[in-house]
């Protein structure tokens, strides 16, 4: 039987970041991922990092490429009634965000783990958790046809919404909260320069739109769409035409189009599992919560979980177990605040089916109030750049 102090289940950015931080604390952690590295890197995800996430990546010692290739943003635009209104994040909070793709961050973390020779098992199948509610947890898995078993002190469940870790907890011990939204996002990735040097969030009668980016030459665009929509119903030309229709005329005129590298539809949901600790099993990231992408909180919220869990485990191995006891409460306090912000942004910017004229007027009044109130803009900005850990 193998032995590790911590077994991390899930080799996405949250599991990799936790592993990197634990290694810097001298904690022996083995990481299990059921997919190949190529599959993990092929997942198209977030691209906006909060200031707190940027600081954590620097603490982990993997910030060189982010600091050289990432794009610091001091603000973004809210667009409605055909007009763009800039939210100056830096002026309002003294902080900013960093545009740096999740794929790039994941690659950086993979490279650092490989260079350090840290134990990682890709294509780990049939992962099972045992003894997590006692003092001697074990994780079993199959790799290359061979069954393996690892004894450990703790298990970190960083394996996503559909992973085995949360599913291993009896239903009576976990409370689930969920809201499913009646629309999705159609996303397109293309090697074209962004329409703006900062992000544009658009409220339009035809539906929400977002102009985002991954670099100065790669753009990511989103359109609100029906849950019944299918990617094959959207040609690239149809996507670009609809994006132009939702943008102000001046922005539409400067929109650079091109063939898509990737196109997909993602449903939107808000989801929280409580608590986030069960004996010696901890949940982090999408295993414990999902946010709609409107507020750019998904990866950032996973990073805050990782920060709390790293601090708790580091303190435990230095003789202080209080952090472990308080991990779930600390993490959930920040989770619910991020859930509130993402829910609010989603309610504010999207067209809801059958919402009626009153709800539409309330959205408009909220936006007008927001751009005219320094206090309201400050509240928006401090949530967007990230609440402190």
Average pLDDT of the chain? 96
Please, are residues 199 and 48 in contact by the beta-carbon 8 Å criterion? yes
**Cis-peptide into 275, omega within 30 deg:** yes
How far is Cα 348 from Cα 222, in angstroms, rounded to an integer? 16
Write down the pLDDT at residue 354. 87
Average pLDDT over residues 122-149: 97
> Choosing from 13, 194, 292, 293, which is the catalytic residue?
293
Using pLDDT thresholds of 50, 70 and 90, give the confidence band for residue 1.
Answer: confident
How far is Cα 73 from Cα 61, in angstroms, rounded to an integer? 22
Half-sphere exposure of 217 (CA within 13 A, CB side): 1
Write down the pLDDT at residue 330. 97
Per DSSP, the three-state class of 253 is helix
Greater model confidence, 389 or 318: 318
Output b/e per residue, 41-57; b: 16+ Cβ within 10 A: eeebebbbbbbbbbbbb
- Clarify whether 297 is annotated catalytic: yes
> Choosing from 201, 221, 308, 327, which is the catalytic residue?
201
Per-domain residue ranges for the chain?
2-49+99-177+269-346
- Clarify whether 222 is annotated catalytic: no
> Choosing from 297, 308, 316, 350, which is the catalytic residue?
297
Nearest to 198 by CA among 49, 69, 72, 76: 76
- Clarify whether 141 is annotated catalytic: no
Q: Give the pLDDT confidence of 167-218 residue by residue, as tens digits.
A: 999 999 999 999 999 999 999 999 999 999 999 999 999 999 999 999 999 9
Please, are residues 52 and 304 in contact by the beta-carbon 8 Å criterion? yes
**Nearby residues of 9 by Cβ (< 8 Å), 6 or more positions away:** 15, 32, 127, 129, 139, 155, 156, 157, 158, 159, 163, 164, 165
Using pLDDT thresholds of 50, 70 and 90, give the confidence band for residue 42.
Answer: confident
Q: Give the pLDDT confidence of 207-219 residue by residue, as tens digits.
A: 999 999 999 999 9
How far is Cα 165 from Cα 279, in angstroms, rounded to an integer? 13
> Choosing from 141, 181, 327, 384, which is the catalytic residue?
384
Output b/e per residue, 226-240; b: 16+ Cβ within 10 A: eeeeeeeebeeeebb
Q: Give the pLDDT confidence of 66-83 residue by residue, as tens digits.
A: 999 999 999 999 999 999
Write down the pLDDT at residue 156. 98
Average pLDDT over residues 278-290: 98
Per DSSP, the three-state class of 272 is strand
The proportion of the chain whose per-residue pLDDT surpasses 90, expressed as a percent, equals 96
Per DSSP, the three-state class of 182 is strand
How far is Cα 360 from Cα 344, in angstroms, rounded to an integer? 14
Write down the pLDDT at residue 45. 73
Please, are residues 48 and 212 in contact by the beta-carbon 8 Å criterion? yes
- Clarify whether 193 is annotated catalytic: no
What would be the CATH architecture of the domain defined by 2-49+99-177+269-346? Answer: 3-Layer(bba) Sandwich (3.50)
Bridge partners, 248 (sequence order):
none
Q: Is the pLDDT of residue 44 over 80?
A: no
How far is Cα 15 from Cα 49, in angstroms, rounded to an integer? 17
How far is Cα 156 from Cα 279, in angstroms, rounded to an integer? 11
Can you read off the two tokens belonging to residue 364? 């408009």
- Clarify whether 73 is annotated catalytic: yes
């Amino acid at each position: 039987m193998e032995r590790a102090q911590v077994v991390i289940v899930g080799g996405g950015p949250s599991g990799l970041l936790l592993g990197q931080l634990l290694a810097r604390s001298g904690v022996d952690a083995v990481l299990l991922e059921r997919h190949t590295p190529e599959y993990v890197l092929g997942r198209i995800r977030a691209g906006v990092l909060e200031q707190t996430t940027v600081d954590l990546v620097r603490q982990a010692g993997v910030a060189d490429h982010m600091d050289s290739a990432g794009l610091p943003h001091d603000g973004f635009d809210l667009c409605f009634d055909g007009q763009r209104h800039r939210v100056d994040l830096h002026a309002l909070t003294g902080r900013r965000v960093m545009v740096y793709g999740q794929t790039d961050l994941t690659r950086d973390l993979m490279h650092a783990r490989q260079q350090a020779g840290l134990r990682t098992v890709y294509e780990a199948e049939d992962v099972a958790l045992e003894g997590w509610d006692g003092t001697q947890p074990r994780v079993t898995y199959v790799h290359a046809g061979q069954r393996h078993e690892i004894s450990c002190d703790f298990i970190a469940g960083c394996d996503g919404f559909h992973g085995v870790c949360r599913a291993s907890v009896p239903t009576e011990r976990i409370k689930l909260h969920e809201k499913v939204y009646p629309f999705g996002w159609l996303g397109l990735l293309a090697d074209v320069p962004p329409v703006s040097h900062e992000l544009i969030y658009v409220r339009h009668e035809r539906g929400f739109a977002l102009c985002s980016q991954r670099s100065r030459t790669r753009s990511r665009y989103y359109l609100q769409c029906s849950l019944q929509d299918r990617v094959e119903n959207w040609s690239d030309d149809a996507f670009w035409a609809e994006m132009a229709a939702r943008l102000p005329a001046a922005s539409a005129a400067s929109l650079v189009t091109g063939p898509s590298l990737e196109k997909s539809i993602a449903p939107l949901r808000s989801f929280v599992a409580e608590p986030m600790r069960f004996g010696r099993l901890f949940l982090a990231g999408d295993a414990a919560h999902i946010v709609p992408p409107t507020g750019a909180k998904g990866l950032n919220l996973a990073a805050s979980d990782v920060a709390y869990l790293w601090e708790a485990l580091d303190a435990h191995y230095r003789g202080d177990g209080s952090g472990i006891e308080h991990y779930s409460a600390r993490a959930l306090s920040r989770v619910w605040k991020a859930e509130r912000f993402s829910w609010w942004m989603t309610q504010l910017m999207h067209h809801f089916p059958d919402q009626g004229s009153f709800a539409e007027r309330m959205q408009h009044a909220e936006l007008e109030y927001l751009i005219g109130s320094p206090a309201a803009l400050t509240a928006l900005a401090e949530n967007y750049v990230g609440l402190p850990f």
